[in-house]
Amino acid sequence: MFGNSKFFNQYPGKDITEADIKRIFQTFDANKDNALDKAEVKNLVESIATSGSLSAAELDKIYAFLDKDKDGLVSPSDMAARALPWLSVIFSGPVAMVIVDVQNDFITGSLALKVYPAKEDGANVVPVINDVIAKHSAAFKTVIYSLDWHPADHISFLDNLAKRKLSDKSKIKDAAKVGLNDVVVLETKAYGPIEQIMWPRHCVQNSSGAELHSELKLAGNHTKVYKGTDPDIDSYSAFWDNNKLKKTDLHDRLSKLGISDLIVCGLATDVCVGSTAAHAQELGYRTALLEDACCGVMPDGIAATKAKLTAAHGVVVRSGQLNELLAKRDRPMAWVLAAVDCVEKLANGGH
């Protein structure tokens, strides 16, 4: 924490009002000129955050956001228009949890993660997720469980390759030479050439492999999202397919609930979890990756997923840190900054 760090201890979990904004403005208007200059806004932002640092470029972005009338100063009317929704996200933004693909085939079945290079056993996420649900379900406005839900003729299955046509754009030209995890380009009637990683048959609709792990607890306020249902395109993310041609209804559900913050976990970190988190950030959600409730495929891919998330003002946390984060007492600078993206995309209809 920096600046007037104790001032904001009164606000976690509180609905921010116009009276609060007026008081905050008066507190941080150090020279009492009825405007906040950049140094005063810097003090304000650094007082909100409980960890992390603020770069000059990040300060410029927040200052430009708060200066609604673009006159070079942040006035009381600017604060009322911009700081009210921004601080509302930071101190009382509704939270949802998205649990990605904790299904049998990724744990003990045809795509069991423990046999891949990262050697991470997908079963290990189950008790962590169950503990989070037991301790924190009241903090989540909803809990979403996504499921890979493929038709038997899905494009990603290597054993379906003989029924499909390799595109001229595919680097591998001979179908007989295509193996598991190879990348090819396949022709589809609906979408034209589609690039695809070849996987073993997995998570076929209504199969035991597609079921959620038997020991995974379902939150009382949960719903499910089914993805990968189109035979001609894969869908790692719980929001969109891999080419963003079709979307699930997840974003619509979250928007109707006014969700601003997402806790994302599940299988696999560097595939479906990472894609879901990236799309969540693109839509404007403040996104946290719950790393001890995730398992991945490739060590480099796991590291890259975390780096991409944090570069876009996401945070990587462990379950033991959730209590303070969900209570808004832990306010990483990344999430203070991400609240600006959240408000801007709400205003533009993107979220």
What's the rounded Cα separation, in Å, for the pair 10 and 8? Answer: 5
**N- to C-terminal Cα distance for the chain?**
30
Is pLDDT of 120 > 60?
yes
| CATH architecture observed for domain 95-152+201-327 | 3-Layer(aba) Sandwich (3.40)
pLDDT in tens, 209-251: 999 999 999 999 999 999 999 999 999 999 999 999 999 999 9
Q: Where are the alpha helices (DSSP H) in 173-298?
A: 250-256, 274-283
Is pLDDT of 351 > 70?
no
The residue-averaged pLDDT of 327-346 equals 94
- pTM, whole model, 2 decimals? 0.95
Fold type of domain 7-92: Recoverin; domain 1 (1.10.238)
**CATH topology identical between 7-92 and 95-152+201-327:** no
Instruction: List the chain domain ranges.
Output: 7-92, 95-152+201-327, 158-198
Is pLDDT of 1 > 90?
no
Q: Which active-site residues does the annotation give?
A: 101, 227, 272
**SS3 call for 324:** helix
Q: Give percent of the chain above pLDDT 70.
A: 97
The confidence score (pLDDT) of residue 97 equals: 98
User: 345 pLDDT band (50/70/90 cuts)?
Assistant: confident
